[in-house]
Amino acid sequence: MRFLAILTLRNEAAFLLEWLAHHRACGFTDFLVFSNDCTDGTDAMLDRLQAMGQLTHIRNIGPFPEGPQWAALKQADRHPLMAAADWVLVSDIDEFVNIHAGDRTLPALLAALPDATAIPLTWRMFGNAGVTAFTDAPVTATFTRAAPAVLYWPWRAALFKTLFRNDGSYRKLGVHRPRSPDKTRLPAQRWFDGSGRELPPLFHTQRLFSVFGQDNYQLVQLNHYALGAMESYIVKCDRGRANREASTFDMGYWVDRNFCDTEDASIVAIAPRSAPLLAELKSDPALARLHAEGVAWRHARFAALMAEEPWRALYGRLLLTPPSRVLTPDELRPIWQHSGAARLT
């Protein structure tokens, strides 16, 4: 069975090898990776990985009216790897699939959900936990403080990415879910959440976030390391978002994701499988050099940004802002009421 991960990158050379080794360990067999406007050597690293047979790299050339990620997905729709894939996931470099079923691989997850045609992988937000300096250390080992299993707000914390069977039921890829469904095939769709509950038909066509007020992570979760170290977040803000060119990162993005209430190191259980794969990648002299250059670039870019007052001000606000507090349903009632719904479910 072929499992395809689709990824869009810009200036992520410092993190790419860890992400790739982890997802190979999870059972992904194919990687279709798009790069755009890289200045840290990410594109050169992807070229080397392609030469080694690790992935397929496409340079995503602008302009991007809808953002580089949407431009990449339109290309991916037509790519031979997409046609050959049995299951597909559109992912980002700060998202790590974390399977709790069986041996923590994709086949084990499908064995636990044999009737599933799609599995929404709900984000679990991993907060900054006061880490200021970017260091060349594994993201999954550095950031282990996360949102609780049950979270009522913000709604973005319940967003998911969809692992779906590539059986022709959907004609187009989307950032969070497959799009353009074939209505004749919809009756056969069976979507299950990360705790194994079957989801209603609304999820088959339009839903983007999971049900609030319940644990969606018993079988699988999507660890979302959206913030990282404060220094790295400054560089991320400078880079901008992949799916909307005009949109920027800011303090609102930080506050919506900086949850540090629960210790969750469950992802390290796959380290015996992923660590040898990472060591093998780093043993390649070209990859080792490109990784080191990517780390150095990130340090240099942060230093350059801090020469400007707006970036120093943002960094100061990050230092001033404590981890986000989990809100209760009673506190959120005005939000739900004014949204036109008694509850976001």
pLDDT in tens, 20-52: 999 999 999 999 999 999 999 999 999 999 999
The backbone torsions φ and ψ at residue 146, rounded to the nearest 5 degrees and listed phi first, read -140, 175
- Looking at the predicted structure, is the pLDDT value of residue 306 above 80? yes
183-212 mean pLDDT? 95
Distance between CA atoms of residues 194 and 149, nearest Å: 11
Q: How many CB atoms lie within 10 A of CB 7?
A: 26
Distance between CA atoms of residues 85 and 158, nearest Å: 27
Distance between CA atoms of residues 265 and 263, nearest Å: 6
- Residue 245: its pLDDT value, please? 43
Distance between CA atoms of residues 308 and 322, nearest Å: 24
The string of pLDDT tens digits covering residues 217-229 is 999 999 999 999 9
31: which residues sit within 8 A by CB, 6+ positions away? 4, 5, 6, 7, 20, 23, 54, 55, 56
pTM for the structure as a whole: 0.95
- Which residue, among 164, 172, 159, has the nearest Cα to 95 in the 3D structure? 159
What's the full length of the chain, in residues?
345
292-296 mean pLDDT? 98
- Looking at the predicted structure, is the pLDDT value of residue 343 above 80? no
- Which residue, among 212, 169, 219, has the nearest Cα to 196 in the 3D structure? 219
Distance between CA atoms of residues 300 and 78, nearest Å: 38
- Looking at the predicted structure, is the pLDDT value of residue 200 above 80? yes
Task: Sort strands 220-224 and 95-99 into parallel, antiparallel or unpaired.
Answer: antiparallel
150: which residues sit within 8 A by CB, 6+ positions away? 213, 214, 215
- Residue 247: its pLDDT value, please? 44
Q: For residue 63, say if its preceding peptide bond is cis, omega within 30 degrees of 0.
A: yes
The backbone torsions φ and ψ at residue 35, rounded to the nearest 5 degrees and listed phi first, read -120, 150
- Residue 320: its pLDDT value, please? 97
- Looking at the predicted structure, is the pLDDT value of residue 335 above 90? no
Distance between CA atoms of residues 140 and 19, nearest Å: 9
- Looking at the predicted structure, is the pLDDT value of residue 340 above 70? no
User: In the chain, where are the structural domains located?
Assistant: 3-338
- Taking the C-alpha atoms of 338, 342, 343 and 344 in order, what is their torsion angle to the nearest 10 degrees? -60
For 148-177, b/e burial (b = at least 16 CB within 10 A) is ebebbbbbebbbbbbbbbbeebbeebbbbb
The string of pLDDT tens digits covering residues 74-125 is 999 999 999 999 999 999 999 999 999 999 999 999 999 999 999 999 999 9
Distance between CA atoms of residues 218 and 228, nearest Å: 25
Distance between CA atoms of residues 345 and 343, nearest Å: 6
State CA 152 to chain mean position distance. Answer: 21
Alpha helices in 52-176, H assignment, sequence order: 68-77, 80-84, 106-112, 139-142
- Residue 205: its pLDDT value, please? 96
Single-letter amino acid code for the residue at 106: L
